[in-house]
Structures are given as C-alpha cells and as structure tokens.
Chains A and B, each alone.
Chain A
Amino acid sequence: MLDWKDIKSKFSKDDLSNDDWLEPSKNLWQGPEVSPTKDERRRPILFWLTFGFISVLVLIGISFGTNTSKGISDNKVKVENESKNEVQNRKDLFNPNTDTPRSELKRINVDTKGSSDQPKSPRYKRTLNNLFSGTSENKKSIIGQTAAATKFLTGKNLTQDEVELLNAKKSLPHPGESIFTSFENLGLLPVSQVRPLKSSHRIVLLDDKIKVGAMDQKQNPKKAQIGFGLGVSLGFISLNQAFSNHLAAAQFEHSTSQGVLGWTEYIKIFNNGWKFKTGLSFERIEFESSHNSQIIYLTEEESDFKSDIDLVLSSPVGNMTSNLIMTRSQMIVQDQLDVDLDLANRHIAYFINLDLGVAKSIYSNDQSAFDVYGGLGINYLSGLNNQITTVQITNQNFESVQGVVTQNQQSMHVFQPTFNLGGQYQWKLDAYTNLSFATEYRGALNSFYEEQEYSSKLRRIRTQLGVLHSF
C-alpha cells in the first residue's frame, strides 16, 4: 500500500550528502571568488552611513514622539508574505483574461522584489556574477523600489501622478544615495513626513536596487534572556510618628541598611519592545541601632559580684529581649543602684524576593540598550539575626557588661508585597551575552514591623550587575 506520508518523509530528509544526483552543473555557480564590484566594496561604508543617519532619525522620533498611528513593524518587508503578493500581482499582470490595464503602478508592484528582469524562459541563463556587477539601470525597477520604500515608510501607495512624476524626473535614486535624499530631491516625500524608523530597521542598497527591511535585530532576534549576577542595596527604614515618639526618650537612633544580593531573572522579549520580567533574588541586609536604657541594679540578687538582668531592647523593627550579665568591681553598701546603659545593636535580615514585571525598551542600538521596568513582588523574610555589639555603662562600680539577645522581634511581617521601578542598561559582549547593569527603587506596600500603633517600613535602592544570556 502506497503511503503518501512516507513519500513526504523521503523528501523531507535533512541529509542529502549521499544524493550526488542532486549536484547541479558547474555553471550554476561560478565559484566563490565572486569579485565585489565598486558598489559592493562601498557597502559597509554605506551601511554605517545609512545606519547613522537612521539612528539620528530614530532619536529625533523618540524625542518628539512623532510616531503615527500605525506601527512601522506592521509594514515589515517579508519575503514570505510579499511573494504571494508578487504572485498575485503577476497574475493580474500576465493573465490575458483580465481587463486590468498594465499600468506602471502594477509593474512597480511586480518590480518590488527586484524581479523585473525575470527570464522569459527558464532557458535564459544568468550567472551569479551578474548579481554583483549591476544588472541594469532599469528605471522602472528603481521606481518600483521607491514605491516599495514609500509603502514601507509611509503606508501609502504611490499615485499614478507620482509615478509619472518619477518617470519624468531625471534624478532617480542611484546606488549610494539615501532614499530619503531621493524622496526629497523628487519632491515626493519631505524628510519631515517620513515616519521615524526603529533602530532595528535600515535601508540597504543592494546592486542598483534600494531595499528597505527590518535589519540587524531581525537577523539575530532574541526571544528571551536569562541571567544572573550580584548586587548591593541601600535601605531606608522609616518609623511612624507614634513609634518615633515612643523611642525618642531613649535617644533611639538607627542607620540605613546596607545589603548584598544575588539575583537571577528571566526576560521574555516581545516584538514591540515590551518585555516580561520575572526575577528571584536572595538578599542580606544589615543595619544598626542604639538607645539608652535606665535600670535599677539590686545588689541583693547578685552572686560573686555578678548579676543577670533581662532587658527589653528596641530596634527599628520592634522590640527584642536580651539577657545582660553585669559584673561589679567593688563592694557597695547600697541595696540598689540606678544604672544608665548605652546599648548598640546590629540587625541582620535575610530576604527572598520574587518579582514579576514588565519592561519597555526606550533606547537600543547594535551595541547597547536601555529599558525601564516596573513590577510587583513578594519579599519573604527568611531569617533574622540580632546582636548586641556594645554596652556602655556609666556607673564606675561596674567593670563589664555582656549581653545576648534571647528573643528576636515578634511583630514583623514575614511576607511583604513590594513594588519596584528601575532602569536596566545592557551592553552586548557577544551575539548571545549581554552585560547588565540595573538600578531600581523597591518599596513596600505594607509595614515591615507593626504592633499596636507602632510601625516601620523598609524601602531600598538596589544596584545590580550581571550577565544575561540571550536565546
């Protein structure tokens, strides 16, 4: 039984290295030593000149926000799509049964793929060398390119009058001439009316044809990025008024937090410059606080001049309990002493941050890009460590005080919803690797600490450096 799928699979095989019968005759390809023509040698220079010119237009476009309602990406030149259009146009042009006049405009559409010099018969032989040596100065073909470019840049077709005007003009576009200049010379399309091109687009001059296409980014399009890196953070803990007033009597002070973090993120890239971001980071922050504490030292409770005292300490994120061992240096006759303690504490918190957000590319070129981004996330407090760093005692009857924290703060929110806003700069290291530098503001939607009327919030500025792999 004949299986058509089997036939299809036979013709779909990837390796044809053993099918020597498919080797074409030598004259199909005149060898790789195709000598570039003058135009060919000029192409890299033309590329950079054209690219620079279009980059300026893009920057102007971004600055003045002159983008029109229809995105230029809608008009990207696609061979796959245009081939069908071309086919349809050819049908109209060559179908003897239609009454369609063979207008210049029809011909222009046919010519937009540079096929005006299509052989009348397959017996017509042409070597690839012709490709580089400039096949013709076909006026209609150049008009066709102009029409295609006009359609691409403006979304409009050339009118019959404009085509006739082009025909009548002597100064048609020629190799090396910017299409914008050409339009301006022809009086068809002032530069001011050209929609700003995205940086990923440029105009290419191939042979004697003007081509417009979606370029560099499209040849190496990246759909997503994944990356990792390290960073630092600076945090600000703000106490609400009640909490601040409550601690004022104890001369409470606290520092900003300093942190280090490791991060990883995944970025999904969409064609319109928008990106979806999700990230995971592990962060350690450290901050300090200090305050005074007045205690009453009872001599009758001591043994060997030592006494244990349970003391409540304050921090910007709530109260903790400590145990102080105070050692007295000499005999005293009083039953109790009023002692002032000056305590300094260190607080270390560990976070796991999970973020979701969007980014928008606002600047990009071949080498670098800059995005702004924002999103929401969850800040999970995975660990907390408090240390009493110093205890100073003003009473000279004591020779030392040692303390340990026996219970951490109890009224902290383990989960904090957060929002973040930032900017990310990427510098291309190679085709698939970018260096990433980002800085962001990260605020909290609820309190870090909350107890009765007392609360405090944590906000951070994070700076991250890392690498992103594009794929």
Chain B
Amino acid sequence: MPLSDVEIVKAILLGDSSKFNALYVNHIRHYMLLANRYMRSKEDAEDMVQEGLIKIFKNLSSFDSSRANFRTWSKRIILNTCLDYLRKNKLNYIDDFENLKFWLEAKEKASQNLELQDLTKLIQAMPSGYRTIFNMYVIDGYSHVEIAKDLNISVSTSKTQLLKAKKMLRAKITKQDQNWKNIYA
C-alpha cells in the first residue's frame, strides 16, 4: 500500500531523503500545471518548479497537515515562487497575443487532452499582468484585496485588469472556436 503524503514527509524528516522522489512523482504534474499558468513558457515553468521543489524540501519541517493537505501546501510554495519572479520582472499589460504561433504549432503536434493544454496556452499568452491577476482571481481563488497586497497594486487596478483579462481571454477563445488557423496562421 503506497505511503500517504504525510507518512512520506515524516520519513524524509527522519532522514530518508530518497522518499522525496515519491512526493515528486505524486505531484509534479500539478506543480507544472500551476507554474505553466503563471509563466510564459514551459522552460520558465520548470525553473519555477525546480526552485519551488527546493523550497518545499527545505521547509518540509513546517508542513502542518492539520491545516492543509500536502498538495495544497506545496502548490502554495510553487505559486509564491512564481509570484516572486513575476514581481521582480515587472508585470506588463501589453497585448502580445499575436505570438500565438508557437501555441498553434504545439496544438498541431499534440494528440490528446487538448482542452486543458489549450486553455493553458491561452492563459500563457496573455500579458503577464493580466495572466497573473486572472490566475489568482479566477483559478486560485484570491480576493482582489489579497491580489493587490501580493502584487503591490491597488484594488481597483486588480479589478480593472481582471476585467480586461477576461475580455481578452473570452475574445481569444471565441476566435479559437471560429477558426484558429485562419486568424493566426
């Protein structure tokens, strides 16, 4: 019977660092999905995940399973790592959706489960400011007050940027439904 996350964490803290691989296998795709939403490319997402994994390992002793399950706790660390990076690199709100060619190429190569991947690519293609606020509010459930505090922006900025992000994403998804290739090829 496979060990639970809590049991694995305990084993690691008692010195069995090889168990970290089990945590990695159990959760890596969730970390990658989260980081892909916040970062522009898979390479950047991998960097964030790698950095986050190191933080997760170093902070395992602070994991409190009574407050959150391991995935929630560790995803929060990955998210904070992404936010740290985005904050340092200044959020931008410039529409560079026209760079979606890479997405089309990826879409043509992929064979299955395009829906989640499609959405991820669409979100990735948004300007970093829109992308971050959209992710935090719509998907990760942060309030505008929390977003404003975390990103060092005003609440009204958060709200207006979210509206713009939603509008942009809605337009792009609608266009996708009509005919992606005609528009972006």
CB–CB A220/B62 < 8 A: no
Quick check: is A84 within 8 A (CB to CB) of the other chain? yes
Interface string of B13-52 (1 = CB under 8 A from A): 1110110110010001110110011010011101111110
Considering only residues 146-182 of chain B, those with a C-beta below 8 Å from chain A are: 150, 152, 166, 169-170, 173-174
Taking the closest CB of chain A, its distance from the CB of B155, in whole angstroms, is 17
> With A and B bound together, what is the CA distance between A24 and B13 in angstroms?
26
A5 to chain B: closest residue by CB: B138
On chain A, the residues within 8 Å of B184 by CB distance are none
Q: B13, B21, B49: which contacts A28 (Cβ < 8 A)?
A: B49
Quick check: is A122 within 8 A (CB to CB) of the other chain? yes
Taking the closest CB of chain B, its distance from the CB of A175, in whole angstroms, is 14
Stretch at the interface among B79-87, B94-102, B124-132: B79-87
- The count of residues in chain B whose C-beta lies closer than 8 Å to any C-beta of chain A is 69
Quick check: is A56 within 8 A (CB to CB) of the other chain? no
On chain B, the residues within 8 Å of A17 by CB distance are 29
Considering only residues 411-439 of chain A, those with a C-beta below 8 Å from chain B are: 431
Taking the closest CB of chain B, its distance from the CB of A168, in whole angstroms, is 27
CB–CB A19/B61 < 8 A: no
> With A and B bound together, what is the CA distance between A169 and B17 in angstroms?
33
Q: Which of B43, B49, B55 has the most CB of A within 10 A?
A: B55
Q: A33, A40, A126: which contacts B54 (Cβ < 8 A)?
A: A126
On chain A, the residues within 8 Å of B54 by CB distance are 126, 128, 130-131
CB–CB B139/A125 < 8 A: no
Quick check: is A207 within 8 A (CB to CB) of the other chain? yes
CB–CB A213/B15 < 8 A: no
B177 to chain A: closest residue by CB: A2
Contacts A47-B14, A79-B73, A115-B55; A219 near B65 (Cβ below 8 A): yes
Q: Which of B51, B54, B88, B141 has the most CB of A within 10 A?
A: B54
Q: B24, B61, B138: which contacts A215 (Cβ < 8 A)?
A: B61
Taking the closest CB of chain A, its distance from the CB of B80, in whole angstroms, is 4
On chain A, the residues within 8 Å of B115 by CB distance are 10
On chain B, the residues within 8 Å of A36 by CB distance are 15, 17
Q: A25, A91, A132, A213: which contacts B62 (Cβ < 8 A)?
A: A213
A83 to chain B: closest residue by CB: B80
On chain A, the residues within 8 Å of B7 by CB distance are 431
Quick check: is B68 within 8 A (CB to CB) of the other chain? yes
Taking the closest CB of chain B, its distance from the CB of A411, in whole angstroms, is 52
Q: A125, A128, A209, A214: which contacts B53 (Cβ < 8 A)?
A: A128
Quick check: is A140 within 8 A (CB to CB) of the other chain? no
Q: A22, A31, A90: which contacts B33 (Cβ < 8 A)?
A: A22
A130 to chain B: closest residue by CB: B54
CB–CB A83/B76 < 8 A: yes
> With A and B bound together, what is the CA distance between A80 and B63 in angstroms?
9
CB–CB B33/A11 < 8 A: yes
Interface string of A73-90 (1 = CB under 8 A from B): 000111110111011001
CB–CB A84/B39 < 8 A: no
CB–CB A131/B84 < 8 A: no
> With A and B bound together, what is the CA distance between A95 and B77 in angstroms?
22
Contacts A24-B49, A90-B84, A114-B55; A32 near B67 (Cβ below 8 A): no
4 closest A-B pairs by beta carbon, nearest first, are A32-B21, A122-B47, A213-B61, A221-B66
Which chain A residues have a beta carbon within 8 Å of chain B's beta carbons? 2, 4, 7-8, 10-13, 16-25, 28-29, 31-34, 36, 40-41, 43-44, 47, 76-80, 82-84, 86-87, 90-91, 94-95, 113-115, 118-119, 122-128, 130-132, 204, 206-207, 209, 211, 213-216, 218-221, 223, 431
* Further 6 A-B residue pairs, CB within 8 A, beyond A221-B65, A221-B66: A8-B138, A19-B33, A29-B24, A80-B73, A90-B84, A213-B62
Q: List 19 A-B contacts (CB under 8 A).
A: A2-B174, A8-B138, A10-B115, A16-B33, A18-B112, A19-B113, A29-B21, A31-B21, A34-B18, A47-B15, A79-B59, A84-B150, A86-B80, A95-B152, A114-B59, A115-B55, A119-B47, A211-B58, A218-B65
